[in-house]
Amino acid sequence: MALMITDECINCDVCEPECPNDAIYQGEEIYEINPDLCTECVGHFDTPQCVEVCPVDCIPKNPDREETGDELRLKYEQLMSTKA
């Protein structure tokens, strides 16, 4: 499942550069995650890097975007094929 950023975000700017898929961007008020690009770092890292660096713990799984590990891996492979 893709991740999401809650309104507890303090706009500290540490998550955006950590995302290997460029899924995190500055929204109107807080940072947001494009669920079509978020693979929870599958294919890149063992754990989501945004969650690792977030100082306020505001990046949970998005309940509206449930995806299995296999689905996240497939999304990663599709994203990488378009970058080539």
* Full DSSP string of 39-67: -TTTTT-SS-HHHHH-SS----B-TTS--
Per-residue pLDDT tens for 33-82?
A: 999 999 999 999 999 999 999 999 999 999 999 999 999 999 999 999 98
For the full predicted model, state whether its pTM sits above 0.75: yes
At 1, is the pLDDT very low, low, confident or very high (cuts 50, 70, 90)?
confident
Nearest CA-CA partner of 59 in 43, 41, 75: 41
Note the CATH architecture for domain 16-83: 2-Layer Sandwich (3.30)
